Amino acid sequence: MSYVDEVFDMVVAKNPAQPEFHQAVKEVLESLRVVIEANEEQYRKDALLERLVTPERQLLFRVPWVDDKGQVQVNNGFRVQFNSAIGPYKGGLRLHPSVNLGIIKFLGFEQIFKNSLTGLPIGGGKGGSDFDPKGKSDREVMAFCQSFITELHKYIGADTDVPAGDIGTGGREIGFMYGQYKRLTGLYEGVLTGKGLTYGGSLARTEATGYGLLYLTEEMLKCNGKDIAGKTVAISGSGNVAIYAAQKAQQLGAKVVTVSDSTGWIYDPEGIDVALLKEVKEVKRARLTEYAAARKSAEYHEKKNGEHGVWTVKCDVALPCATQNELDLEDAKALVANGCFAVAEGANMPTTMEATEYLQKNGVLFCPGKAANAGGVATSALEMSQNSERLSWTFEEVDSKLKTIMVNIFHNLDDAAKKYGMAGNYVAGANIAGFLKVAEAMTAQGIV
Ligand code: NDP
């Protein structure tokens, strides 16, 4: 049996009931096969792959807090510190009822390669909780965040592990967490990113993942003789990534016709009104029904079981920006049938493996999340730099660095795919380019 297959079997045997983690490992190892086989003897001897798929540290903890009725609630807290070969652990905190250890491990594993691709000195980690901020009062969210950080603060720090936002963790949650960290440690340090602008946050961090997704998509299209201007774009999600992806797509001259949330989706043939979307989602924290009520051209569709409506709409470019496995084989077939020629992942692993293969086989340009959404973590690393030098850069300065990083990421993965005989396979290119740097650093640092 090949080394890659042996390690994958070991991952499944040692991590039962973690399908998302298995899926992420499989996708990465499959596309690394050619690189691993070229160095198999050395990697085997060093157990490099076994070490790569085993987190350096996994923290699981109780998060007790008191709700507005005086009832004590208990959630599970997680932080997986996956790999620190190239820098301190870095990765977001997801707050969503679906969160479990397998999901945090898949996200942490992906983060290793994503962070490596940015070219910045950051290792891979991820965390979160099965706490659901939806429908909770500000006081309840604060009580949860304070309890969460009271335990987690023992294991994080500006030079060890720097968490950030993710699904369910936005500026409000990061603020409460930062306040509690400072109170417990007495340190005013860049331990979290995604902070508010009045206390160490970076301009353009809010926009970074969505903007970065479009900078990379624009470059991918350009290198394939196409232009984003004038194209019709389908986006899923209506959170941080989706909103700023829609905004930048429209600034670049494209028309965004869909957004979605967990209960329904919008088709707006005149183009999504981003200001209205922000009002509904960022200010009122309301459902998309409110968007439809305020805009004549918008159709609202309730999400039915098993349907992911936005992918049935005719579009040139699809940007999945909600959550994992939201674009399956049926969706991929619908996209191809409707003439979609490019898919770039704003979310982490939103496309199933079968759907990815179908899109690639049908000539659709496909860029995986670990490259396409790396603008968020890259700008988080820029926030860390600003915190270290006690300075704040202008919006234009950060945005221009972000654009340079995204264009470089695309060329790195494009070059890696070509070098290993898989031109145009950006999944393989991203995994190979991300892996080589981490593998070299791990090898140089000995058996740790
Ligand atoms: P938000 O919480 O701001 O938004 C998430 C969006 O996805 C919401 O519209 C939400 O709908 C929808 N959604 C979440 N879970 C589900 C689900 N199970 N089924 C259907 N819809 C769902 O999160 P972000 O925009 O920050 O994150 C979106 C994705 O991007 C995630 O995969 C995240 O890991 C990834 N990402 C985020 C980065 C960032 O900087 N924020 C950086 C890199 C990747 P509803 O409001 O109804 O819950």
DSSP string, 181-203: HHHHH---S--SSS--GGGT--T
Specify the pLDDT at position 93.
98
Give the pLDDT band of residue 118 (cuts 50, 70, 90).
very high
Q: Pick from 118, 132, 167 the residue to mutate for probing ligand 1's pocket: most ligand atoms within 8 Å of its CB.
A: 167
Specify the pLDDT at position 304.
80
At which residue do the structure tokens 């200010």 appear? 283
pLDDT in tens, 263-320: 999 999 999 999 999 999 999 999 999 999 999 999 999 988 766 689 999 999 999 9
Mean pLDDT over residues 72-96, rounded?
98
CA 190/CA 203 separation, integer angstroms: 15
Mean pLDDT score of the chain: 97
CA 245/CA 248 separation, integer angstroms: 5
**Contact indicator for 416, 433 with CB cutoff of 8 Å:** yes
Atom of ligand 1 nearest to the CA of 194: 40
User: Given a cut of 70, is residue 96 above it in pLDDT?
Assistant: yes
Specify the pLDDT at position 308.
67
At which residue do the structure tokens 């009045």 appear? 198
CA of 347 to the centre of ligand 1 (A): 7
Mean pLDDT over residues 410-420, rounded?
97
Q: Pick from 99, 206, 261 the residue to mutate for probing ligand 1's pocket: most ligand atoms within 8 Å of its CB.
A: 261
Q: Pick from 262, 301, 327 the residue to mutate for probing ligand 1's pocket: most ligand atoms within 8 Å of its CB.
A: 262
| Token representation of residue 303 | 């999400």
Atom of ligand 1 nearest to the CA of 260: 9
Atom of ligand 1 nearest to the CA of 238: 9
CA of 169 to the centre of ligand 1 (A): 10
Q: What percent of the chain has pLDDT over 90?
A: 98
Phi, psi of 320 (to 5 degrees): -70, 120
pLDDT in tens, 382-391: 999 999 999 9
Residue 81 pairs with which residues in a beta bridge? 57, 125
Nearest CA to ligand 1 atom 19: 262
DSSP 288-307: THHHHHH-TT-EEEEPPTT-
Report the pocket of ligand 1 as residue ranges, CB < 6 Å: 98, 165-168, 209, 237-242, 261-263, 321-323, 346-348, 373, 376
Specify the pLDDT at position 57.
98
Mention every residue, 6+ apart, whose C-beta is less than 8 A from residue 396.
none
SS3 percent helix, strand, coil of the chain, rounded to 5, is 50, 15, 35
CA of 266 to the centre of ligand 1 (A): 16
Nearest CA to ligand 1 atom 33: 347
Specify the pLDDT at position 261.
94
**Contact indicator for 246, 287 with CB cutoff of 8 Å:** no
pTM over 0.85: yes
**How crowded is the C-beta side of 359, counted as CA atoms within 13 Å?**
33
Atom of ligand 1 nearest to the CA of 209: 40
Which residues form the catalytic set?
A: 126
Nearest CA to ligand 1 atom 3: 239
In angstroms and rounded to an integer, the radius of gyration of the C-alpha atoms of the chain is 21
pLDDT in tens, 152-173: 999 999 999 999 999 999 999 9
Mean pLDDT over residues 31-50, rounded?
96
pLDDT in tens, 329-372: 999 999 999 999 999 999 999 999 999 999 999 999 999 999 99
Mean pLDDT over residues 174-192, rounded?
98
CA of 421 to the centre of ligand 1 (A): 34
CA of 324 to the centre of ligand 1 (A): 9
Mean pLDDT over residues 412-427, rounded?
97
Question: Of how many residues is the chain composed?
Answer: 448
Specify the pLDDT at position 303.
87
CA of 279 to the centre of ligand 1 (A): 17
Atom of ligand 1 nearest to the CA of 348: 32
CA of 255 to the centre of ligand 1 (A): 21
Atom of ligand 1 nearest to the CA of 208: 40
CA 46/CA 199 separation, integer angstroms: 44
pLDDT in tens, 189-224: 999 999 999 999 999 999 999 999 999 999 999 999
Nearest CA to ligand 1 atom 13: 322
Nearest CA to ligand 1 atom 48: 262
How many other CB atoms are there within 10 angstroms of residue 426's CB atom?
Answer: 24
